[in-house]
Structure 1
């Protein structure tokens, strides 16, 4: 699979992207005229308004008195600017959401992120800033000479998008919206207003791109990982320690492919190690640097390398040294790390795994409206466990995993590399995994995600517990532990829901719901939900990547 061809010729269904540029608007009309499954219909809706004044929700059930704080969410919610439409599910302008819970009640508010990208697009009344899978639309008012000069002028790397629609994270007491470029936007935890100018991470530390999924230590230290393309030794994956005014690179991992550093969305951390999955979805630097001239999107610079193995790059936290042992597995692709931990000399890494990188080239709005077999298959990520260990003296072709209660295997090859054979943690696929973050980097048992219903996976018994509401589209779930809990799953799961049929005051605007689920094996598994009316008809599938304290998905008041 060559992702680079995804926009010029859609390999799944022969869709020419030039047609999509002209017809995305008609997708909306098509959905109004035809019977489209509700769970897909909500993904194509766009918003141009915000709920800036908190709206009180109607509580169905009981919200525990101990549950108090703010749940922040982020995701692409503005899908069109004027008559121009975004094409990839990653590309819409960011919409921030805030659910406040106190005294058994909940309120909701939202706001469109006032990024430079959003303001430029709005001023032009069309898409003028490139996103992951959508190139800026040409200016119809430009002369042929102006278009020529624009195309062959030098690219401005300061002008990468600050449309931070992937995640939100607290750095100290400051809340930031994040994306996968080198830009971040600070927002007010109170009213979600955008504060000040954008933060360019490159000005503080040597990274040209960064993940939107940092890790937060119990002491509040924030680590993140990003690519650097400017090193004299070639591109590197840099692990960065914040805060920004004291930012430093604590480790640099040399890229396996010098001209095609891999794309990654997240990484793992344990008490003693950082773990990066170096997967064979490469970012072609020549194509990335010439995209300004060739009018290609960032996604079109990506290439799937099917003959390459997926590797686990392991770094010691104590000194930043990259472990020399090559840990590898048969080719797979991942967006989201679930967790990782150490046990009896073994390094356990859990991930949501796709068979290949085709999912990146399938999640177009067109495919959501008209799903193909390839599209449906590409979404199925299996939660899998890999085990790596120090086996420098081990014999060849013998299973080296000595842990009980696991089917994972690891073999030393003649090359000295360790081939890791995974175990499925669930019989069902799932994505957007979350855990009890108190156990991040430590041995744990339960995973929460969606398949696409909300689910809880027991990694020991492989049991899957599900919750669903007819017609609702669920978001990434967030587990909040009950104060004083002694069991890992003693708490509640929070998720935002959207229903196509619900209305506000008889208008065509849609309701949001915030589902509160008690999935503990010690309590009933029925849903507890609160619903807050909202004029924001958008689906938000991303959220926070922070833990329960001052940096919490439920931010303690």
Structure 2
């Protein structure tokens, strides 16, 4: 991956001849409340609860556009489901970054790939004054009684899960520090604590594995040093271990000070260093494996789990599934100018890595030929899974973006897909059928929820699919287009 300077100081329109999926990268500023969305089909009566979604929605000012999909200012979406009906509400997350766009018509803060100063003169005078935008547009999690939106700078923003009103920054009450963290904290399967990884840049940079016990106070349980740290979007946990996978998209930390470029433009693809895999004992913080394997890139871990005592010498094996790309060119492919022009994107495949804890040996294999991104499993993190659900691409070359949903059987490699021409689904969320409704506990006994863009209708909808077959059961139509988002989750039996 190499940096690009196109579009740094201009507005990036969507060309009229662009493919239909580019409508998912148009700005949405409107905030609405709809008590009952039009529903076609039949939503199972047992399905009751709230789906919360997070993602970018504000991409433009009158003079400039953000440079990257990841830079759009956050918007929250709430679908409340009960008795076969669906209500909808959306709100812009109120942060310094979104306020600068909405109230002052300017890009006021540095983002993942956008510099607030379009000119070299402006960059010179702001190089050492880069305040966080608070643009928590990636994910949602609960910390104790607080619901927070997350992004990679460790600056969670609390919001009300019913009204979606922004409460404010939920500041960490500790001295862990660090410039970035993953926006994918995971629950320790044994303790229920929230685990995350913070990256602190310095002469000797560190990945700091942290634990939260239901509060905003983190404790460091392990530190992994790195001279050339790599970009880290997610990680994995098992019953016994934390697993960090560092792909060779790396940075010299001095670059941030010397060059003043947007964050990701300081990183360089260096495949010769390989992919580093670090396995850490969660209970003791001891590093059990620190090894390398062939170069690849991934945003998202699918899941990981232990197989105790199953290696050739009787030691533990860690099974680690990721959605992997051959290289990091996907990062540049997600630049807004390219997406709005309808360029093809690289697509990842689900890949399984097997790591022997005793000797650090690694093997890998592709689980399916189907492209799969934004993966979700039906089991809790760290438990063994059979199925993975995700967004796929009917064209393996990625010319039509992510236009289908996929279910892959990790045991057999068999795949099911849901596809409708002109419709682009987002991250699938699996909701299990409860025992009170005859649920068996099988991974695919339930439904899949996905927010999808319907290009022809000029609207988005909430899809409800059968998890075992990916047959559509129902859809609830929203009266506007929802920009392509990232992550969220379902909470059952919440009051509407």
**Closer, same or farther in 2 for the Cα pair 1:321/1:122, shift >3 Å?**
same
Structure 1 residue 250 corresponds to structure 2 residue 198: no
Deviations 1:463-512 (A, max 9, x none): 1111122211111000011112331211111000111232xxxxxxx422
Residue 238 of structure 1: which of 208, 232, 238 is its match? 208
SS of corresponding position for 2:319: strand
Measured after TM superposition, the shift of residue 109 of structure 1 is 0.9
SS class of match (1:311): strand
540, 543, 556: which one aligns with 2:484? 540
Give matches, 1:54-453, under 5 Å: 54-138=34-118, 151-152=124-125, 155-156=128-129, 159-196=131-168, 198-201=169-172, 204-217=175-188, 220-229=192-201, 234-242=204-212, 243-255=214-226, 258=227, 260-292=228-260, 296-323=261-288, 325-343=289-307, 344=310, 345-372=316-343, 375-376=344-345, 379-392=346-359, 418=361, 420-438=362-380, 440-451=381-392, 452=402, 453=404
Structure 2 CA distance for aligned equivalents of residues 204 and 556 of structure 1: 35
Between the aligned partners of 2:132 and 2:424, the Cα distance in structure 1 is 31
Q: Is the 8 A contact 2:230 2:250 kept in 1?
A: yes
Q: Distance in 2 between matches of 1:245 and 1:318?
A: 20
In structure 1, C-alpha distance between the alignment counterparts of 2:46 and 2:449, rounded to whole Å: 14
Structure showing the higher helix proportion among its residues:
1
Unmatched segments (≥5 aa) in structure 1: 9-16, 393-416, 503-509, 547-551
Shift of 1:245: 4.2
Q: Is the 8 A contact 1:222 1:241 kept in 2?
A: yes
Alpha-carbon contact 2:368-2:415 (below 8 Å) kept? yes
Contact 2:37/2:86 (<8 A) preserved: yes
1:132–1:153 Cα change, 3 Å: closer
Provide the C-alpha distance between the structure 1 equivalents of 2:467 and 2:154, rounded to a whole number of angstroms.
Answer: 37
Deviation track 1:175-227 (CA, whole Å, cap 9, x = no partner) reads 1111111211101111101003x234485523221111010246642111110
SS of alignment partner, residue 83 of structure 1: coil
**Cα distance in structure 2, aligned partners of 1:245 and 1:460:** 39
Residues 1:518 and 2:460 are matched in the alignment: no
Per-residue CA deviation, residues 35-93 of structure 1 (Å, 9 max, x unaligned), is x322x222331112111x23411222221121111100000111112221112111111
TM-score (normalizing by structure 2): 0.89
How far, CA to CA, are the matches of 2:474 and 2:128 in structure 1?
A: 49
Contact kept in structure 2, 1:272 and 1:318, CA below 8 Å = yes
Following TM superposition, by how much is the alpha carbon of 1:21 offset from its aligned partner in structure 2, in angstroms? 3.3
Q: Distance in 2 between matches of 1:235 and 1:120?
A: 32
Q: Which runs of 5+ in 2 are unaligned?
A: 311-315, 393-401
Q: Give distance in 1, aligned partners of 2:284 and 2:268.
A: 33
Please provide the CA RMSD for this pair: 2.2
Aligned length: 472
Q: Which residue does 1:527 correspond to in 2?
A: 472
Please report how far the alpha carbon of residue 290 of structure 1 lies from its aligned counterpart in structure 2 after TM superposition. Answer: 3.3
Q: Does 1:468 align with 2:419?
A: yes
CA distance in 2, matches of 1:538, 1:69: 21
Instruction: Say if 2:11 and 2:60, in contact at 8 Å, map to a contact too.
Output: no
**How has the CA–CA distance of structure 1 residues 192 and 204 changed in structure 2, closer, same or farther, with 3 Å as cutoff?**
farther
In 1, are the aligned partners of 2:389 and 2:428 still within 8 Å (CA)? yes
* CA–CA separation in structure 2 for the residues paired with 1:153 and 1:86: 18
Which residue in 1 is equivalent to 2:396? none
Contact in 2 for aligned 1:473/1:539 (Cα 8 Å): no
Superposition deviation, residue 555 in structure 1: 6.9
8 Å CA contact 1:478, 1:553 repeated in 2 = no
Q: Per the alignment, in what secondary structure is the counterpart of residue 450 of structure 1?
A: strand
After the TM superposition, which segments of 4 or more aligned residues of structure 1 sit over 6 Å from their partners?
A: none
Give the superposition deviation at 1:366: 2.3
Q: Evaluate the alpha carbon distance shift between residue 191 and residue 23 of structure 1 in structure 2; reply closer, same or farther with a 3 A threshold.
A: closer
Which structure: greater strand fraction?
A: 2
CA contact (8 A) 2:236 2:304 kept: yes
Q: Secondary structure at the match of 1:361?
A: helix
Give the structure 1 partner of residue 31 of structure 2.
Answer: 50
Highest CA radius of gyration, 1 or 2?
A: 1
| Residue 239 (structure 1) shift | 1.2
Structure 2 CA distance for aligned equivalents of residues 91 and 45 of structure 1 = 13
Give the C-alpha shift of residue 136 in structure 1. 1.0
Q: CA deviation at 1:163?
A: 0.5
Q: Matches of 1:153 and 1:367 in 2, distance apart?
A: 27
Q: CA–CA distance in 1 between the matches of 2:100 and 2:186?
A: 32
Q: Report the alpha carbon displacement of residue 326 of structure 1 after superposing the two structures with TM.
A: 3.5
Task: Specify whether residues 482 and 130 from structure 1 end up closer, same or farther in structure 2 by C-alpha distance, changes over 3 A only.
Answer: same
SS state at 1:60 partner:
strand
